[in-house]
Amino acid sequence: MFKYLLIFLLPLNAFSQQSYIDYQSPYHPIINTRGMVASQNIESSNIGLEILNKGGNAIDAAVAVGFSLNITLPRAGALGGGGFMLVYIKERDEIFAIDYRSQSSLNADLKTIFEVDLPEDYERANFETVKYGYKASNIPGTVSGLLKVHKEFGKLPLSEVLKPVINQAREGIVVSYDLEKAIGSTPQLLNDLESKSIYFLNDEPLKEGSVMKRPDLAKTIQSISDNGLDGFYKGSIAQKFVEAMNSNNGFIDANDMKAYEARFTDPIGVNYRNNKVFTHGPPSGGGVVLLTALSLLEAYDLKKYKSNSTKTYHLLAEVLRRGHNNRSHQIGDPSFYDVPMKKILSKKRIKQLIKGMNLKSATSASKVKPLRVREEGKDTTHYSIIDEDGNAVSNTFTLGYSFGSGVTIPGTGILMNNQMNNFAYRYGDQTIEGRAASPGNQFKPGKRPMSTMAPTMVFDNQAQLTLITGSPGGSFIPDAILRVVTGVIDFGLNIGEATMLPRLHKDWPYAELEYESTISSDILSNLKKMGHDIEASKTMGSTQSIHIRNNINYGFSDLRRPNAGVAKQ
């Protein structure tokens, strides 16, 4: 009897064993122990991988990916724009911040921009002027930023780094469904003859499956490869910029191009649950939102509420509202404005912001007061890279709107930004409460506008790099990053699970709590009962992340936008 019973029980016991293919999560990170690249386009990730395989380091790969995204993701690839970068050098155990934000021309002033007197005559000012066309563009900073970090930290010659990118531009890429739709939904491209000739055929967007070649862009990148910064900011390329600006009432001249320089600055950071979270400081305001939100969450045991509970979403909304408030008045270009960073992230300020927070009800915008010390487009892109030696890059750059100003400088292939749109032109207008009247971000010639870009790195309690992340998404950027950071630290999720948690956005002074459709209806109902004015949104951001645990890299590209991907050695 016992013999037969044993035979009968064995198959049941076998079925109870955990199978390798019974994964705990449907979101699977890419895993390795060497170099890894996560970007918003897999073809550009593969370009970065090619550089790593040639013996380049993370910085070399970051330069190649940055140039490549102008071909594969032209609506956000930003040689004609600017951004912010964090670089970690393992051997030196140092983290560096690089500000290569686009900068307004010294020739631009309020009178020439709007043709009315500001701040006296707000009513007649046409603020559309700084959204599209030549007047919308600042001096591009990306080439300066990428070449500056390459000169300081790169390993391979610049010509070797840019060679596969030049080939990619010459040979072209296959137009994806996403690219076709993006072109078709960007009317400002049709208003510029050069842009129209590149992105349209017979007045129709380039079709999915067709090949888009970029010979002018290849020549521009070749000029940079041969001549470095002078190949872009001086010589024939710069002359083409000047001629186009002169012919179209733009502001940028030869002196603007020559004078532009990316700059090293100090990252900002806070301690969060025994981890150190670093991001970029002013003129980035997104970093301030992220660090403010984390500092507020430190007062709560978020883990006990679970990642998808009503209380978690409520707390995220409350801290994000205060974080966005904290950037709304005193953040600007530190070369022009004495940003009171110590006060903005001080314990006193955090205590002030936490007042009124209630686990049972939402706080109205009027009760969240801005810091007073004296009387923003979603089509950005981010990538994260680590090499086998532990060096890392977190980089976010932008043109502003999708395809920026819509303007392509003839003969260069360079699509220009519309970052003039990011200044606070209504400074002094007492009828405006929000960022449009920010004293820190008021427009001045030669100034860099505030941004929400926030490249991020997290170090654990052993001071080891554990997370590289960032996102596009305009004001949604810090919200997306906060969800990933708390998903990993507070809830112990893998990077795929943390990335795909539903996201929300609650700005200031606006009333709405915007949410992704993946949040459950029960939670939305509960949030509404708590006093949140909920409003459905499209997807928020597109984080590109690498999570390092026990010397193993776990990479994950957000599924919210198509064609992203992780490449590994």
CB 183 within 8 A of CB 206: yes
Distance CA 148, CA 404 (A): 24
Residue 41: other Cβ atoms inside 10 A: 28
**Orientation angle between helical segments 42-53 and 58-72, nearest 10 degrees:** 150
Q: How far is CA 9 from CA 1, 6, 12, 275, 450, in A?
A: 13, 5, 5, 48, 68
Distance CA 398, CA 415 (A): 11
Place of tokens 């007042």: 355
Q: Which amino acid is at 254?
A: A
- The DSSP symbol for 474 reads G
User: What is 306-350 written as a DSSP string?
Assistant: -TTSHHHHHHHHHHHHHHHHHTTTT-S-TTTS---HHHHTSHHHH
In degrees, rounded to 5, the angle at the alpha carbon of residue 486 between the alpha carbons of residues 484 and 488 is 70
Backbone φ and ψ for 312, nearest 5 degrees, come out as -65, -50
Catalytically active residues are: 380
Burial class (CB in 10 A: 0-12, 13-18, 19+), 341: middle
Contacts of 362 (CB under 8 A, 6+ apart): 314, 317, 318, 513, 527, 530, 531, 532
Residue 33: other Cβ atoms inside 10 A: 13
Task: Indicate the helix (H) or strand (E) that contains 382.
Answer: strand 380-386
Token pair, residue 358, equals 């209630």
SS percent in the chain: helix, strand, coil, step 5: 40, 20, 40
Q: How far is CA 1 from CA 11, 13, 93, in A?
A: 17, 19, 68
